[in-house]
Amino acid sequence: MRKCYDVPMNPSAWIGAALAAMLLVPALVGCDRDNSGAPGATASGAGATASGAGATASGASATASGSGSKDHAANTASGAAPQPPEPMGDAARGRELATKHECHRCHGGLELPPIAATSHCVRCHIDVLAGKFDHKTEALGWRKNVAHLIAVPSLAATGARLDYAWLVRYLADPRDLRPALEPTMPRLGLDAQASRDIAAYLVSVGKTAATSPTTEHDALSGADDARGRKLIDEFQCGACHRMSGVDELAATSKLEPGKRETRAAVMLAPDLRFARERMGNAELVRWLLDPAAVKPDTLMPRTPMTPEQARDIAGYLMRATLAPQAVVAVPEALPLLERKVSFDEVKARVLDVTCRHCHGDPNAAFGDGGPGNTGGFGFPARGVNLTSYEQLMAGYLDSAGERKSLFAKMADGTPRIVAALWARHRELAGAPNPELRGMPLGLPPVPPADIQLFATWVAQGRPR
What one-character DSSP code corresponds to residue 174? -
- Identify any residues that bridge with 415 across adjacent strands, giving them in sequence order: 409
Q: What is the structure's pLDDT at 20?
A: 39
Euclidean distance between CA atoms 66 and 164, whole angstroms? 8
Predicted confidence at residue 213, as pLDDT, reads: 52
Q: Does domain 213-319 have CATH number 1.10.760.10?
A: yes
pLDDT value for 195 = 97
Q: What pTM was estimated for this model as a whole?
A: 0.77
Give the bridge partners for 397, in sequence order: 403
**pLDDT tens across the length of the chain (464 residues):** 433 333 334 433 334 434 433 333 343 444 443 444 433 333 333 333 333 333 333 333 333 334 444 544 444 444 456 667 899 999 999 999 999 998 988 888 888 888 777 677 777 777 777 788 788 887 777 677 666 677 889 999 999 999 999 999 999 999 899 999 888 888 888 999 999 999 999 999 877 655 555 566 689 999 999 999 999 999 999 999 999 999 999 987 666 655 667 888 999 999 999 999 999 999 999 999 999 999 999 999 999 999 999 999 999 999 999 999 988 999 999 999 999 999 999 999 999 887 877 898 888 767 788 888 988 888 889 999 999 999 999 999 998 999 999 999 999 999 999 999 999 999 999 899 888 999 998 888 999 999 999 999 999 999 99
From CA 57, how far away is CA 78, in angstroms rounded?
38
Domain boundary assignment for the chain: 15-176+185-204, 213-319, 343-459
Burial of 143 (C-beta count, 10 Å sphere; 0-12/13-18/19+): middle
- Who contacts 357 (Cβ-Cβ below 8 Å, separation ≥6)? 5, 9, 16, 19, 20, 22, 23, 370
Question: Which residues are paired to 404 by β-bridges?
Answer: 396
pLDDT at 18: 40
